[in-house]
Amino acid sequence: MRRKGGIETRRHTLRERIRRKMLESIRRRINETFIGEIRRLARLYEETRRELEEQGVKRRSAFILAFFKRIIDDYRESAINRIRDRIRSYLAFYDLLRASLPLFRDRAKILFEVERRHFYHRDKTIVRIRDQMLAELPEETRNRIIDALRQATLGKHVPTQVLMEEPLLRWFLQRYMLYYQRYPCKHSSFAIKVTPVTIHFFKGWNTTYYVMRFIRVKDLKHDPYLEVARPVDLYFTMQVRKPYWDILNTFTYAESGTMDSSDYVTIARDDKRQSFIRIPLRRAILQPHHIKRGFAKAVGEPELTDSASHCSIYAILQRRPRTSRYYSAGLRRDMIAKRKLRAVRDVTWSLGLRG
Integer Cα distance of 324 and 54 in angstroms? 101
Instruction: Indicate whether 228 pLDDT > 60.
Output: yes
pLDDT for residue 2: 47
Q: What is the pTM of this model?
A: 0.58
Instruction: Indicate whether 68 pLDDT > 60.
Output: yes
Instruction: Indicate whether 113 pLDDT > 70.
Output: no
pLDDT for residue 346: 54
The lowest-confidence range among 52-56, 148-152, 228-232 is 228-232
pLDDT for residue 34: 67
What does the pLDDT look like over 20-67, one tens digit per residue?
888 888 877 777 666 667 777 777 777 777 777 777 766 667 767 777
Instruction: Indicate whether 92 pLDDT > 80.
Output: yes
Integer Cα distance of 6 and 75 in angstroms? 57
Question: Residue 335 — pLDDT band, cuts 50, 70, 90?
Answer: low
